[in-house]
Amino acid sequence: MNRVMSGNEAVSQAVKLSRVQVISAYPITPQTSISEKLSEICGSGEMDAKFVKVESEHSAMATLIGASSTGVRTFTATSSQGLALMQELLFWVSGARLPVVMVNVNRAMAAPWTIWCDQTDSVSQRDTGWLQFYCWSNQEILDSVICAFKIAEELLIPCMVCHDGFFISHTHEVIDIPEQEQVDTFLSPRKAEYKLDTSDPRTFSGGTMPNMFMEFRYKVQAAFERAQGVIDQTYKQFAQTFGRDYRAVEAYYADDAEILLIASGSAASTVYHTVRQMRESGRKVGLLRLRQLRPLPVEGVLNHLTNEATIAVIDRNLSPGTGGVFTQELRAALHRNGEDCCIHEFVAGLGGRDITAADIEKICDDLDNKTADPAGINWVGLNR
Amino acid sequence: MSDTPDYDFCASHDFYGHTACPGCGEKILYRHVLDVLGPETVVVAPAGCAAVTDGVFPHSLSPVPYLHVAFGATASAAAGVRAGLDMSGRENVTVMAWAGDGATFDIGMGALSAIAERNENVLYVCYDNEAYMNTGMQRSSATPRGCWTTTTPASRLKSEPKKDIDAIMAAHRIPYVATASPAFLDDLKAKVERAKAIRGLRFMHLFSPCPPGWKSDPADSITIARLAVESNVFPLYEVYEGERLRLTYQSSSVAVSDYLKLQGRFKYMSEQEAEDMQSAVERSYAALKLRHEKSKVCL
Amino acid sequence: MPELPVSLARMSWNKTGSWRSSTPGHRGKLPPCNFNCPAGENIRGYLDLMKKDQIAEAFELLTQKNPLPAVCGRVCYHPCQTDCNRHSFDTELQIRAVEMLIGDWGVQNKLRVRLPETGAKKVAVIGAGPAGLAAAHYLRRDGVNVVMYDENHHPGGILHYGIPTYRLDKEILQAELKRVLDGVDFKANMRLGSDFDLGTLNHFDAVFLATGAHVSKSMRIDGGDLAGVESGLDFLKRVNSGQKVRLDNKQVVVIGGGNTACDVARTAYRLGAGVTVAYRRTENEMPAFAEEVEQLKAEPIELEFLVAPARIQQETDGRLKVICHRMELGEPDPDGRRRPMVIDGTDFTMTADVVFAAIGEDPDLDIAPGLTYASDGTLDLSQIDQRIRDKLFLGGDILPNPRTVPHAVASGRVAAEEIAAFLKGVPYERPEKPAEMAGPEDINFSYFARINIAKRAASSDGTEGVLDEAGAIDEANRCMSCGVCFECDTCYDFCPDLAIVRTPGGYQANLDYCKGCGICARECPSGTLGMQGGQVA
């Protein structure tokens, strides 16, 4: 069924279709409408879930730690400061191997105060042991959330589905909402091998000595190494069920591109449209859209690298002292894979500043003219 | 399942080999609370003495499901467990948060207040040893005035009185607030039984002697607990719906100094400070007594 | 290894007993009541049974050591109560009253001891006082044929002929004696030394001699043999034998300060006499039990302390003039009591119709030729025919024992055990008494409720020292079981390590897990548990 709805509402629909049993969230702009919509559909009985209305994001995640440990399916959503407040527990969730799914509506981190979009909030959580997905459309949000439960529960690794505050969260699009029966065939109820069960009393996440701790971390790492296979398999099943095909890295005009731009989130859609326009004027520009930060889809990137292309990453985030996180991650990963290519780094759109078609064209011009710094940060639209 | 508690539940469920210090009050409290609650219980415990003495992977003392959580996460995690169990059709299981004073009075206070305001169907129990004992005796807001800790050294003893957590919790008008002591086990067990039968948030504040932290003889743990009650330093009472207050032990007139003198943590207290404590204790107890009498009239 | 950090096993592998540097164990101290009971009663034991409302079992336990509870419940000086640890808490337990209640219950219910068939062995018991009674009773319970001889018509000795009826009701006494002598062949009016002698007892396998001490010491003063100067004990015997003795409007002087003096004075008073007791030391030195002194003082009887008779003269009207010295106390005697010294020039005269001497009693050595005292106060039996001597056992007041009923009972019971062993040809070892009794410092008074003494006094039925069954149970409930485990679960409840295990009749530390914190010992209400140094495997 096609309906027009915002990115945040798509989240709510996905949560409902995934038959989540316990939700806990704390409102924060621009996530708020997710909390509101879920409250509504839980309150009306449209969805059989318990929405625990907590007093902070830390408590939201703590609530889900408790709930998920009983074996039920759980969900939360947050943004920015809220995500940061959760951070302690993000580690906890992944270490405890709880398949919590969270939507993070990307918003820059204060100070100074801002409510607008960038990805620094979520990329800075890349070490917490969560899978991270980045969406560029409302349909993709809905589909990704449903997939996230399947992936998380298969791997026992929590999933974070990210989309850009306002640019996507508050933008309305037509999306196809699948039938519940269809979703049910794709996503079966969670089956937890270990849970808080009085007939099988066990203690969860108790003290662990140096002789064991590394082994648990190794198991998490192994799950991450297995993750791409599980994700790809999930997409395959998803395509079979719903007819929509996803992959970790989506390539547009990449094969013969002389300039290959790498982007994620809503910025990628601006790049996509700009690239199409530039192609019309004959410039050989292409796009790789990264849909994941964790696991970093290295293979998907490698598949599209050519010797001819100049590569540039547009990062809507900043790790001060280093630069854009996607850039750093890709440079490290490609180097590890024996690729010696130069990756240009463009930091753009922090704190909600638009990344416009003109910005993209300027990036391409700078790359063509070799005026872009191949080593340092190229700040897009910065007034020094 | 029988409604009569199995007072040997722990004894018959391999409750042996934990690593709590000799004379630990927390473990005395825990086994008796668990005896009353029985096997249909899930425990949620934050960082603290209880958590670290439960055992290390792959071993655990606990005869019931036990969830370790981060320090400030207790109350919310317990609410989450409640929600998860309820959604799984296991409403009959008691969810008990088992947290120290640090997790309760301090780092977890906001979350505790929140589950109280939401009246979550959780039994929240605070075992109060009046400082951060697990990290080695640093002051908490449960530490009494004039007390030595490693962060309130002899040169600057704690100058603030203990936070009145029970009044705070009662002010949330939750169905049940109770204080209890390991020296008065019948009272403790009766309160746990009452708490178990009530739906909504039940808060129990348990006095938990700590020999290493209190610089007391491990053998004196119960004696100290008894003196705390008898001197009205730790009066035993319960509050229903934040209103009706009932003293469950009307004490004899033991001097506060009798309670203090068994504990090295109070040895730096001046005579004046001890006298001040005596009069503060008398004032608080008089206020409780007044509410107790008033509640009787209201009934 | 599981995928997630979830426990796979419990902690009981962790034997925390290795942390221990001291270990709980039983202190082995006796309750003061048991410790002090001359008769060796397990008082704590029968109080515990009373607590549980098991009076029949209490009676059974009590009479295993003392066959005369109704008697002792009346006349015993109850040292069991002296060190009762409740004394330092509220007030001591009325143990004697509980004992009397149990004894009377046995009498009222006409309880009889189930006696075994007798075997071939035969024992003669001479003297039917408390020692002889106990010996005869326990020997008979052991299946021995017992023939008992006494010079009097009634059995009981001092119980019948010495103790006044206002202290010991004859019906109760006779009822209790009936049970005690069940199965014993009692031969009355048989005085050793006149009606028969030891030589005639050769056909017995053993002979128990318990003829007591009932020869009044002589005053050895001028006029001590005048008519009207009598032995106090003989006076009591005449009264207790049922002779009509009238002392109406007579003036009586009783010389002495012991229990006999008290009994004589009070009996004379009851027979209508005006009574003065003259004692040569002060009240503090009176050998009579404090309780008897109190009772004496409660009656309109004059007490003259620091007074000793110097001589007695008979007036022409037949009345007696007792000329007395005033005394003062000098240096202590070897027995610790200060010696009375005459104060010269202080003589004065008391007028009396009758003077009773009650200054002590000696055993009657006329029962056997050649019987004398050895230098250490025991009897020299060397002149007794060896055939008898080899199977002769002695007990009661004939020995230098404290002259009390419970001591005599114990002496008889121990003799019975000794004789039984002798008859079986096995050596007899007296049970050793533990060195220590549990004192107030051992008791954790926090576990016991104080009683309202004023309230209790008001609710009693007015008879001093008498309890009904409910009252006895209440009283038993006050028992703190000093030094003896009463299975209160305190140690079990307070062990942080659940390292106290319930065992039949008590508790034991589970040394695998006991960390030695010592809470169990500190809290033990009865002071049963204590900590011993070291790990003690």
How would you classify the pairing of strands C372-373 and C379-380? antiparallel
Q: Alpha-carbon distance C162 to C396, whole Å?
A: 15
Together in a domain, A160 and A276: no
Q: Alpha-carbon distance C412 to C427, whole Å?
A: 18
Q: Report the SS3 class of residue C449.
A: coil
Q: Alpha-carbon distance A82 to B28, whole Å?
A: 39
A97 touches chain C (CB under 8 A): yes
Contact present, A284 and A317 (Cβ < 8 Å): no
A44 touches chain B (CB under 8 A): no
- Domain end point (choices A242, A265, A300): A242
Q: Report the SS3 class of residue B166.
A: helix
Q: Which of A54, A88, A200 sits opposite B114 (nearest CB)?
A: A54
Contacts of B68 in chain A (CB under 8 A): 203-207
- Domain end point (choices A242, A262, A285): A242
Place of tokens 């140096």: A210
Residue type, A292: Q
| 58-77 of C, contacting B, C-beta below 8 A | none
Q: At A141, give phi and psi (nearest 5°).
A: -60, -50
Q: Alpha-carbon distance B112 to B179, whole Å?
A: 17
Is position A277 within any domain? yes
Q: Which of A48, A54, A208 sits opposite B56 (nearest CB)?
A: A208
Together in a domain, A118 and A17: yes
Give the burial class of B155: count Cβ atoms within 10 A of its Cβ; 0-12 exposed, 13-18 middle, 19 or more buried: exposed
Which chain A residue's Cα is nearest to B66? A203
How would you classify the pairing of strands A131-134 and A292-294? antiparallel
Instruction: From A84, A134, A80, A127, select the one nearest A107 (Cα to Cα).
Output: A80
A62 touches chain B (CB under 8 A): yes
CB pairs under 8 A between B and C: 111
Q: Which of C1, C3, C7 sits opposite A206 (nearest CB)?
A: C7
Mean predicted confidence (pLDDT) in C492-496: 97
Which chain B residue's Cα is nearest to A205? B68
Verify whether the Cβ–Cβ distance A203 to C7 is below 8 Å.
yes
C-alpha angle A244-A246-A252 in degrees, rounded to nearest 5? 110
Together in a domain, A327 and A183: no
Query: Any idea of the CA torsion for C19, A208, B10, C15, to the nearest 10 degrees?
Result: -30
C533 touches chain B (CB under 8 A): no
Verify whether the Cβ–Cβ distance B223 to C523 is below 8 Å.
yes
Verify whether the Cβ–Cβ distance B76 to A62 is below 8 Å.
yes
Verify whether the Cβ–Cβ distance C1 to A97 is below 8 Å.
no
Angle between helices B221-230 and B25-37 (to 10 degrees): 80
Supply the pLDDT for residue C464.
Answer: 61
Residue type, A192: A
Q: Alpha-carbon distance B282 to B279, whole Å?
A: 5
Residue B1 has pLDDT above 70, yes or no: no
Segment of A73-87, C156-170, C465-479 carrying the highest mean pLDDT: A73-87
C203 touches chain B (CB under 8 A): no
Q: What is the CA radius of gyration of chain C?
A: 28
- Could you tell me what percent of chain C has a pLDDT over 90? 80
Supply the pLDDT for residue C460.
Answer: 44
Which chain A residue's Cα is nearest to C3? A219
Contacts of B90 in chain A (CB under 8 A): 70, 198
Residue type, A12: S
Residue type, C355: V
Give B187 or C220, the one with higher predicted confidence: B187
The long-range contacts involving A37-42, CB below 8 angstroms and separated by at least 24 positions, are A37/A8, A37/A9, A37/A11, A37/A12, A38/A12, A41/A12, A41/A16
Chains touching A by CB (3 or more pairs below 8 Å): B, C
C496 CA to chain A: closest CA distance, Å?
20
Supply the pLDDT for residue C537.
Answer: 57
**Average pLDDT taken over every residue of chain B:** 96
Residue C276 has pLDDT above 80, yes or no: yes
Contacts of A156 in chain C (CB under 8 A): 3-4
Mean predicted confidence (pLDDT) in B38-51: 97
Burial C93-115 (b: 16+ CB within 10 A, else e): bbbbbbbbbbbbbbbeeeeebee
Is position A51 within any domain? yes
Query: Does the ipTM exceed 0.85?
Result: yes
Query: What is the DSSP annotation of C170-234?
Result: HHHHHHHHHHHTTT-EEE-S--BTTTB-GGGGTTSSEEEE-----EEPP--SBTTTSTTEEEHHH
Q: What is the pLDDT of residues A27-83, one digit of tens each?
A: 999 999 999 999 999 999 999 999 999 999 999 999 999 999 999 999 999 999 999
Mutate to test the interface with A, among B85, B93, B113, B119 (most CBs of A within 10 A): B85
Together in a domain, A262 and A234: no
Into how many domains does chain A fold?
A: 2
Provide the pLDDT confidence category of residue C462 given band limits of 50, 70 and 90. Answer: very low
Contact present, A58 and A86 (Cβ < 8 Å): yes
Q: Which of B54, B55, B84 sits opposite A66 (nearest CB)?
A: B84
Q: What is the pLDDT of residues C326-364, one digit of tens each?
A: 999 999 888 888 899 999 999 999 999 999 999 999 898
- Domain end point (choices A212, A242, A272): A242
A287 CA to chain B: closest CA distance, Å?
42
Mean predicted confidence (pLDDT) in A230-240: 98
Place of tokens 């069940």: C182
pTM of the model: 0.90
Mean predicted confidence (pLDDT) in B60-84: 98
Residue C461 has pLDDT above 60, yes or no: no
Together in a domain, A286 and A304: yes
CB pairs under 8 A between A and C: 30
Residue type, C172: I
Q: Alpha-carbon distance C411 to C407, whole Å?
A: 6
Q: Report the SS3 class of residue A346.
A: strand
- Across the strands, what pairs with A148? none
Q: Which of B62, B85, B117 sits opposite A70 (nearest CB)?
A: B85
Q: Alpha-carbon distance C223 to C324, whole Å?
A: 13
Contacts of C8 in chain A (CB under 8 A): 202
Domains of chain C: 17-28+486-533 (3.30.70.20), 32-112+435-477 (1.10.1060.10), 122-213+363-424 (3.50.50.60), 216-359 (3.50.50.60)
Mean predicted confidence (pLDDT) in B28-51: 97
Mutate to test the interface with A, among C1, C4, C7, C8 (most CBs of A within 10 A): C4
Verify whether the Cβ–Cβ distance B57 to C5 is below 8 Å.
yes
SS3 content of chain C, % helix, strand, coil (to 5): 35, 20, 45
Q: At C216, give phi and psi (nearest 5°).
A: -65, 140
Together in a domain, A235 and A297: no
Mutate to test the interface with B, among C22, C492, C494 (most CBs of B within 10 A): C494
Tell me which DSSP letter residue A213 carries. H
Domain with A96 in it:
2-242
Contact present, B102 and B77 (Cβ < 8 Å): no
Query: In the numeric block, which tokens belong to residue C63?
Result: 């009479």
Verify whether the Cβ–Cβ distance A206 to B118 is below 8 Å.
no
Together in a domain, A271 and A216: no
Q: Alpha-carbon distance C80 to C34, whole Å?
A: 7
Which chain C residue's Cα is nearest to B28? C496
**Average pLDDT taken over every residue of chain C:** 92
Verify whether the Cβ–Cβ distance C519 to B218 is below 8 Å.
yes
Q: Which of C12, C19, C496 sits opposite B28 (nearest CB)?
A: C496
Q: Report the SS3 class of residue A166.
A: coil
C385 touches chain B (CB under 8 A): no
Verify whether the Cβ–Cβ distance B23 to C7 is below 8 Å.
no
Q: Alpha-carbon distance A355 to A381, whole Å?
A: 9
Place of tokens 């610790």: C336
Residue C455 has pLDDT above 70, yes or no: no
| Dihedral class, residue B232 (left if φ above 0, else alpha if ψ from -120 to 50, else beta) | left
Contacts of B39 in chain A (CB under 8 A): 198, 201
Q: What is the pLDDT of residues C101-114, one digit of tens each?
A: 999 999 999 988 88
Mutate to test the interface with A, among B9, B40, B56, B76 (most CBs of A within 10 A): B76
Q: For every residue of C104-132, which 3-state class applies, written as one string?
A: HHHHHCCCCCCCCCCCCCEEEEECCCHHH
Q: What is the pLDDT of residues C20-74, one digit of tens each?
A: 999 999 999 999 999 999 999 999 999 999 999 999 999 999 999 999 999 999 9
Verify whether the Cβ–Cβ distance B65 to A203 is below 8 Å.
yes
C-alpha angle A312-A316-A318 in degrees, rounded to nearest 5? 100
Supply the pLDDT for residue C535.
Answer: 66
Q: Report the SS3 class of residue C431.
A: coil
A269 CA to chain B: closest CA distance, Å?
38
Verify whether the Cβ–Cβ distance B77 to A65 is below 8 Å.
yes
Contacting residues for A364 by C-beta, under 8 A, at least 6 apart = A259, A261, A278, A283, A285
A210 touches chain B (CB under 8 A): no
Please give the helix or strand (H or E) that residue B150 lies within, else none.
Answer: none
B77 CA to chain A: closest CA distance, Å?
4
C431 CA to chain A: closest CA distance, Å?
55
Please give the helix or strand (H or E) that residue A299 lies within, else none.
Answer: helix A298-302
Q: Which of A48, A58, A206 sits opposite B56 (nearest CB)?
A: A206
Q: Hey, which CATH number is domain B11-298, 3.40.50.2020, 3.40.50.300, 3.30.930.10, 3.40.50.970?
A: 3.40.50.970
Q: Alpha-carbon distance B22 to C23, whole Å?
A: 12
Q: Alpha-carbon distance C509 to A324, whole Å?
A: 65
Is position A211 within any domain? yes
Which chain B residue's Cα is nearest to C500? B11
Is position A384 within any domain? no
Longest dimension (CA), chain C: 121
Mean predicted confidence (pLDDT) in B10-26: 97
Q: Alpha-carbon distance B104 to B111, whole Å?
A: 9
Query: In the numeric block, which tokens belong to residue C275?
Result: 């009574």
CATH number of the domain at A321, please: 3.40.50.920
Verify whether the Cβ–Cβ distance A194 to C2 is below 8 Å.
yes
Verify whether the Cβ–Cβ distance A50 to B87 is below 8 Å.
yes
Q: Which of C1, C2, C5 sits opposite A206 (nearest CB)?
A: C5
Verify whether the Cβ–Cβ distance A95 to C7 is below 8 Å.
no
Where exactly are the structural domains of chain B? Answer: 11-298
Together in a domain, A231 and A254: no
Q: Which of B54, B56, B88 sits opposite A70 (nearest CB)?
A: B88
Together in a domain, A68 and A165: yes
Residue A91 has pLDDT above 90, yes or no: yes
Verify whether the Cβ–Cβ distance B57 to A209 is below 8 Å.
yes
Together in a domain, A263 and A234: no
Q: At B68, give phi and psi (nearest 5°).
A: -80, 140
| 328-367 of A, contacting B, C-beta below 8 A | none
How would you classify the pairing of strands A249-252 and A285-290? antiparallel
Provide the pLDDT confidence category of residue A123 given band limits of 50, 70 and 90. Answer: very high
Query: What is the DSSP annotation of C472-529?
Result: HHHHHHT---TTS-----HHHHH-TT--EEEETTEEEE-TTT-----HHHHH-TTS-E
A202 touches chain B (CB under 8 A): yes
Is position A80 within any domain? yes
Provide the pLDDT confidence category of residue B5 given band limits of 50, 70 and 90. Answer: confident
Supply the pLDDT for residue C112.
Answer: 87
